[in-house]
A and B are shown apart, each in its own frame.
Chain A
């Protein structure tokens, strides 16, 4: 009686195993659509930006008939993957695996935290999938391309430009604001406090800041390192005030940017905030700080009313109209799909990754945030790193002014003395908070 039961079980197991192997290894059917995986923390503003930007690009492309691949038009199909990377990096790598092995996407855009994007990048590279990173800034992501081109050539940086350039741009903002303080308030010796969250991406920026600030003729008042998720920074702010700092150079990408701005505003700390505060780039910052984030400035990619070129306004206005908020840099999945992937696929006439990489890495194209070109390292190796500078991508210096985010930089900016001045359309003057004027006016 036992033997037939065992035989049946074995037979069932064999059939199921055979079916699984068949479906897992069968050649893909000719796809009718181009599948693009959009990966990001979908319950958070960053992931919502990834998805919104991608949706907008896909809808515009599909409405125009799709992408011309050889002799046929193919529409875009987006696949959403929640990386949950703020909570669990393993969730992010699992989501990437799922996109590639289960959803069988052709391309991937997104990613946010460097800590998560590095392992996600490895998975995409192993599977030879083009992955345009839109969110993580660490230099290592593109240094890998130069160091091991054959493995990492399928990765391109989409947005923002790397940590080194982020630092460089922030120092320019710091110098700009310091000059305004000096000229307006007659402060001779500007003291700068660095407030940087404890995270990998801030380490090189802190090191650079410690060297650059004295070279810029300013005094370093100290370095404060709150936790990225700190909710009470009154202790740090009190200590910063005691240091006599006139400027707080912020390096924040996490939630700590909100309590820091709110509590500094409420305590009327007599120091202006300049640098990077990713939370201050979002429309929700005004509510989140209970209007105490007034006069906080940050590096940013988009700002209502500010135009890099003729593509900026249609994108920003269209995004605001559709989603009710200003796009943040993670919404550059729009650029990744519409201005990077689409023309490259159409030029190549194929979805073959190697062919596309060869075209994209030499491409030069306009996007809503500026002209995109990719860098090579000093040895001429492709890095797939965004080129920074006037004529390419510079980003903006933005400041909260009475409930609205306004662009204040570049305003007659010269990258080098002999270079032409750069001022984007819609730029307004920087405002010093009244309590800072009150504290230092002579």
Chain B
């Protein structure tokens, strides 16, 4: 009975963490695949979305749903402005982009610290309470987060696979030069992809923030996990990011439930799995080999 419950705990916990990591990693992979932008500020946008919800609900008194809408719109807009004025001018220099996005993330962290101090804050759940599934307690908010993550992933899949915009994005990701020759406005596609990518980050922030606490450093752990997912799945591979996210989500859950006194090791265990996979498959699970890429 105990083992049965533990397995169920691991499944539920792994699915929820995996979905969150998948949302973040796919957004990150998308802009990397299309524009070769390693956006370190990706999870900083996720943090800003959390603060937006706090501000609109706690300071302005709006319902959290409106706060979430506001957060996604404001942060997506912010992301596109940052892209237009900060990243686009140096886009051709990948190293410079990397450094610029690190600086952007730090700047966003400092701005949030100045505005809200380092005090830990929180926002209310959309749905309070919990559900008991086969003896395991699951927050309604966790279920909502899981469903919202799946819906977002489904919408993204439909966008990429069933629309002309998706075709343009995939073409640009596959071969920028050829896509250009085929009449695709690569710069515009990159701008739109950045919007989608940051939109996904802010959406993730919006659905996760009721389950977590807000502080200006909250972007760092997801950044590490997101990078691990992306590297594990293969740089730029959306399928790899999706599968890698669940692998690491489950790895974390197994550590917490199987080694309670070592729960703090869950991140390290997940990263160790990533290293192991990379030793066997340096290109990640679904990445192209470095030779091919060259």
Contact A267 B120 (CB under 8 A): no
**B interface footprint on A287-329 (CB within 8 Å = 1, 0 otherwise):** 1111000000000000000000000000000000000000000
**B interface footprint on A189-231 (CB within 8 Å = 1, 0 otherwise):** 0000000011000000000000000000000001111111111
Contact A259 B136 (CB under 8 A): no
Interface residues of A in 257-271 (CB under 8 A from B): 258-259, 262-263, 266-268
Task: Among A225, A242, A288, point to the contact of B5 (Cβ < 8 A).
Answer: A242
Closest to B109 in A: A87
Contact A284 B215 (CB under 8 A): no
Question: Within 8 Å of chain A (Cβ to Cβ): is B186?
Answer: no
* Residue numbers in B under 8 Å from A198 (CB-CB): 264
Contact B218 A231 (CB under 8 A): yes
* Residue numbers in B under 8 Å from A268 (CB-CB): 130
Given known A-B contacts A44-B117, A229-B217, A262-B122, A239 and B260 have beta carbons under 8 A apart: yes
Question: Within 8 Å of chain A (Cβ to Cβ): is B282?
Answer: no
Question: Within 8 Å of chain A (Cβ to Cβ): is B61?
Answer: no
Question: Within 8 Å of chain A (Cβ to Cβ): is B213?
Answer: yes
* Residue numbers in A under 8 Å from B264 (CB-CB): 197-198, 225-228, 230
Task: Among B129, B253, B260, point to the contact of A266 (Cβ < 8 A).
Answer: B129
* Residue numbers in A under 8 Å from B221 (CB-CB): 229, 231
Interface residues on B, range: 35 or more
* Residue numbers in B under 8 Å from A236 (CB-CB): 256, 260, 263
Contact B212 A224 (CB under 8 A): no
Question: Within 8 Å of chain B (Cβ to Cβ): is A339?
Answer: no
Given known A-B contacts A45-B119, A225-B262, A235 and B9 have beta carbons under 8 A apart: yes
* Residue numbers in B under 8 Å from A48 (CB-CB): 117
**B interface footprint on A267-290 (CB within 8 Å = 1, 0 otherwise):** 110000000000100001001111
In whole angstroms, how far apart are the Cα atoms of A199 and B267 in the complex?
A: 16
Task: Among B113, B119, B137, point to the contact of A284 (Cβ < 8 A).
Answer: B119
Question: Within 8 Å of chain A (Cβ to Cβ): is B154?
Answer: no
Contact A255 B213 (CB under 8 A): yes
Question: Within 8 Å of chain A (Cβ to Cβ): is B128?
Answer: yes
Interface residues of A in 19-71 (CB under 8 A from B): 41, 43-45, 48
Contact A255 B215 (CB under 8 A): yes
**A interface footprint on B261-286 (CB within 8 Å = 1, 0 otherwise):** 11110110000000000000000000
Contact B122 A235 (CB under 8 A): no
Listed from nearest, the 7 A-B pairs whose CB atoms lie closest are: A198-B264, A231-B212, A235-B256, A44-B118, A43-B118, A227-B264, A223-B261
Task: Report which A residues bind B (CB closer than 8 A).
Answer: 41, 43-45, 48, 86-87, 197-198, 222-232, 234-236, 238-239, 241-242, 255, 258-259, 262-263, 266-268, 279, 284, 287-290
New A-B contacts (9) at CB < 8 Å, excluding given A226-B264, A231-B213, A262-B213: A43-B216, A45-B117, A198-B264, A236-B260, A241-B137, A284-B119, A288-B120, A290-B122, A290-B125
